[in-house]
Structure formats: structure tokens, C-alpha cells
């Protein structure tokens, strides 16, 4: 009779997630090389190929800080209901707690 394979210390899910992360990283690097390689073949210039490889790092460098600021401050247009985020509501805000989800710390929904 064969025994079922035992799950490791962190269970099977950890191994699956670690493998997925590794494959994602390898895929990202292959995509960056796939951008730089045709540039080198067309121009024969290692500098332009390196520049095109370096430019592939710009989208995360730009979108990361932008999305962080959006998550911290939210959309603050007047008259629209929205999540107050991490800012303290002002006295002119009309705030109420959102739907009860049972989570710690209810979110605060405000309108100006």
C-alpha cells in the first residue's frame, strides 16, 4: 500500500505559490530580454540595447508611487461619496461607517 505524500512544514500551498513567483520572475526577465534583443540585432549597438532593457523598468517605477498616493488619499472630488482612506475627516465631511463586515476597524465613508 502506498502512502500519500506528506505536506511540508508550510503545506502544499506555499510550494505552489513559490513556484508561481519564480516562474513569474523568469517570465518577466525573458520579456525584458525579448525587448532588448531585436534592438541589438537591428542596430548592432549594445548601448541602445541596454537602454531599451533599462526602459522596461520605468513603468513599475512610475505606477508604483502613483498607485500608493491614490490609495492613501483616494479620490477627493466634492459631492461624491468615497472612502476617506488614511486621512482624518474634516468637520465639513458627512461621514458614516460603511456596511458592517465584521473586520477590525470599520471603514469610514464620507461626502463633502
The pLDDT tens digits of the residues spanning 35-70 come to 999 999 999 999 999 999 999 999 889 998 888 888
Task: Report yes or no on 51 lying in a domain.
Answer: yes
Q: Which residues pair with 94 in a beta bridge?
A: 111
What is the number of residues in the chain? 112
| Mean pLDDT in residue range 61-83 | 71
Biggest alpha carbon–alpha carbon distance for the chain: 72
Split into its structural domains, the chain has a count of 1
Side-by-side strand order, sheet with 108-111 = 82-83, 108-111, 94-97
Task: Report yes or no on 87 lying in a domain.
Answer: no
Give the pLDDT band of residue 21 (cuts 50, 70, 90): very high
Buried b (16+ CB within 10 A) or exposed e, 5-34: eeeeeeeeeeeeeeeeeeeeeeeeeeebee
Task: Report yes or no on 104 lying in a domain.
Answer: no
| Mean pLDDT in residue range 87-101 | 57
Element (H, E) at 68: helix 58-73
pLDDT at 33 over 70: yes
Task: Report yes or no on 16 lying in a domain.
Answer: yes
Task: Report yes or no on 112 lying in a domain.
Answer: no
Q: Are 95 and 110 in contact (CB under 8 A)?
A: yes
> What is the predicted pLDDT for the residue at 92?
59
* CA 85 and chain centroid, separation: 18
- Domain containing 48 equals 10-56
> What is the predicted pLDDT for the residue at 80?
45
> What is the predicted pLDDT for the residue at 60?
87
CA-wise closest residue to 69 among 95, 89, 93, 87: 87
Predicted model pTM: 0.49
> What is the predicted pLDDT for the residue at 73?
75
Amino acid at each position: 500500500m502506498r502512502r500519500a505524500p506528506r505536506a511540508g512544514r508550510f503545506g502544499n500551498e506555499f510550494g505552489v505559490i513559490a513556484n508561481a513567483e519564480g516562474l513569474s520572475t523568469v517570465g518577466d526577465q525573458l520579456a525584458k530580454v525579448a525587448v532588448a534583443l531585436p534592438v541589438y540585432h537591428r542596430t548592432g549597438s549594445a548601448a541602445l540595447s541596454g537602454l531599451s532593457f533599462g526602459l522596461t523598468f520605468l513603468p513599475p517605477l512610475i505606477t508604483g508611487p502613483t498607485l500608493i498616493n491614490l490609495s492613501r488619499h483616494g479620490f477627493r472630488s466634492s459631492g461624491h461619496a468615497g472612502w476617506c482612506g488614511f486621512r482624518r475627516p474634516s468637520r465639513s465631511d458627512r461621514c458614516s461607517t460603511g456596511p458592517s463586515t465584521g473586520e477590525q476597524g470599520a471603514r469610514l465613508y464620507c461626502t463633502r
